[in-house]
Amino acid sequence: MIRLKIKDLLSKKNKSTYWLTKKTSLTSPAIYKIVKGNTEGIQFNTLEEIMQALEITDFNEILEIIPEKKANI
């Protein structure tokens, strides 16, 4: 599973979701959905726009890979 760390980054930079909405072309509902993790995917251009607003260039800063638990066989 891949988790977006946007909420953590906003907190670290003392920025709000409202600020992110103003810095991007995304709507408030879209930002809130993404920040809360209520989305099954994200387009690269959306991710790029968020990264530019947050002034980050490394995907490792915004994405976290969480290993899936393997079923006992």
> What was the pLDDT predicted at 68?
83
Please write the tens of the pLDDT for every residue from 13-69: 999 999 999 999 999 999 999 999 898 889 999 999 999 999 999 999 999 998 888
> What is the reported pLDDT for 32?
95
**Tokens (6 digits) for 11:** 């907190």
CATH class of 2-65: mainly alpha
Tokens 């103003």 correspond to what residue? 22
Kindly list the domain boundaries of the chain, sorted by start residue. 2-65
pLDDT for position 40: 87
Determine the pLDDT at residue 69. 80
**More confident site: 71 or 46:** 46
Determine the 3-state secondary structure of 38 from DSSP: coil
